[in-house]
DNA sequence: GATTTTATGTCAGTCTTGTTGACTTTCCAA
DNA sequence: TTGGAAAGTCAACAAGACTGACATAAAATC
């Protein structure tokens, strides 16, 4: 099934050419650079990296989350995450509380300072996103989300959808 | 100018909420992981990383390109790129020819072996892209491209558009 | 109650890929 | 022709990913 049943004119047959796909690949590459550029600049001042941003982001989104849960979202090893969390806890941006039910667990929450930095980072990233969305318009945004969702690994799509539908 | 002039119904007022933007941010994050996953698996077998993939990609796209030109596209320091190129040249995947006009320049081209690996990597990445595009449909793809382009830094957008329009 | 599994943390070592600084070769213009 | 700018290379270092081994405590299971 190389070519699906195209009902219309014929230009739809072209949107899956290797050239067209290549352009999409390059668009992802260049856009992702822009996507991370603004928070990266802020993080530099703190001696933090993208890993710290991601941790702050998901802890804000799911307060009282456990280390294990975060590992699933971030897709890194616990040693890698631990280095980041240790720094954030030592610097007073994240609080790690022993789980009330299961004392093996650590429940993570942002402190005031952590929430403040997370807001700064988020706002920087949202700023660019907002501009892009406004330029492209609602229909384009819907398509954007649709394609991105289809590109995810199934596991990640589950995580994504859970976050999307749950905490709104 | 918090809310732009919305002509239509009212749902358009919602598409720029912080929550909506946050979902877009997470979509980018999770989708980019999928985007790189397939080539990463192939690269592992060769002892290469993403940086090698990017170099091969852009050398294939612009044969006889110079190191300097590549630096602009990749947005890394020349020292960083040099390490990658050295490995690819030593392994016989890339040929570096002294510039015929300006002998300071190195003109880069893929060897047979380099082109073969690049094809493998590209095809893996295109495979996922093709599936996602097919699932989402042409309209969604157009929106996807539109938003990504709006997210790029102006410099990168220039590079992107030059590649897009030039070598087709 | 003893054993196993789970959740987390830590130490040590490696790899990729980014960085800066110092250096060579080549070109070009004053 | 000389001195600076440009292109590229080499060396050393840092961030942040990884693996593997091991420790501890608590929960779950037998």
Domain ranges of chain B: 22-136
Q: Please name the residue whose C-alpha is nearest to the C1' of nucleotide C10.
A: A79
Chain A closest-CA separation from residue B32 CA (Å) = 8
Report d(CA B105, CA B69) in Å as an integer: 10
The domain A32-125 having CATH identifier 1.20.120.450: the answer here is: no
Distances (CA, A) of B93 to B72, B112, B124, B165: 21, 7, 19, 27
Residue B12 approaches strand D within 7 Å at CB: no
pLDDT band at A5 (very low <50, low <70, confident <90, very high): very low
**Protein CA B8 to sugar C1' C14 (Å):** 58
Distances (CA, A) of A101 to A29, A64, A98, A105, B83: 44, 12, 9, 9, 51
User: Angle between the A50-61 and A67-74 helix axes, to the nearest 10 degrees?
Assistant: 120
User: Which residue among A34, A130, A141 places its CB closest to the CB of B156?
Assistant: A34
Q: Is the pLDDT of residue A3 over 70?
A: no
User: Are A143 and B142 within 8 A, CB to CB?
Assistant: yes
**Protein CA A77 to sugar C1' D19 (Å):** 10
pLDDT band at B15 (very low <50, low <70, confident <90, very high): confident
Report d(CA A147, CA A31) in Å as an integer: 14
**Protein CA A117 to sugar C1' C5 (Å):** 38
Give B41-107 as a DSSP string: HHHHHHT--HHHHHHHHHHHHSTTEEHHHHHHHHTS-HHHHHHHHHHHHHTTSEEEEE-SS-TT-EE
pLDDT band at A9 (very low <50, low <70, confident <90, very high): very low
Chain A closest-CA separation from residue B156 CA (Å) = 6
Residue A105 approaches strand C within 7 Å at CB: yes
Q: Is the pLDDT of residue B2 over 80?
A: no
Query: What would the pLDDT profile of A52-71 be if each residue is shown by its tens digit?
Result: 999 999 999 999 999 999 99
User: Which residue among A18, A130, A150 places its CB closest to the CB of B21?
Assistant: A130
pLDDT at B138: 95
pLDDT band at B12 (very low <50, low <70, confident <90, very high): low
Query: What would the pLDDT profile of B109-156 be if each residue is shown by its tens digit?
Result: 999 999 999 999 999 999 999 999 999 999 999 999 999 999 999 999
Query: What would the pLDDT profile of A84-113 be if each residue is shown by its tens digit?
Result: 999 999 999 999 999 999 999 999 999 999
User: What ipTM is given for this predicted complex?
Assistant: 0.89
Query: What would the pLDDT profile of B25-80 be if each residue is shown by its tens digit?
Result: 999 999 999 999 999 999 988 889 999 999 999 999 999 999 999 999 999 999 99
User: Is A164 in a helix, a strand, or coil?
Assistant: helix
pLDDT at B45: 86
CATH number of this structure's domain B22-136: 1.10.10.10
């Amino acid at each position: 099934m190389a070519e699906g049943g195209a009902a219309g004119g014929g230009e739809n047959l072209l949107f899956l050419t290797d050239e067209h796909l290549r352009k999409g690949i390059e668009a992802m590459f260049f856009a992702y650079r822009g996507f991370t550029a603004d928070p990266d600049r802020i993080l530099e001042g703190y001696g933090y990296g993208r890993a710290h941003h991601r941790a702050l982001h998901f802890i804000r989104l799911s307060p009282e989350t456990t280390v294990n849960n975060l590992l699933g979202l971030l897709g890194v090893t616990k040693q890698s995450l631990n280095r980041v969390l240790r720094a954030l806890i030592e610097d007073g941006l994240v609080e790690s509380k022993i789980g009330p039910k299961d004392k093996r667990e650590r429940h993570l929450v942002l402190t005031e300072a952590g929430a403040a930095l997370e807001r700064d980072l988020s706002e920087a990233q949202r700023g660019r996103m907002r501009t892009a969305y406004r330029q492209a318009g609602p229909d384009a945004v819907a398509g954007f989300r649709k394609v991105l969702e289809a590109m995810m690994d199934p596991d990640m799509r589950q995580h994504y959808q859970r976050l999307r539908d749950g905490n709104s």
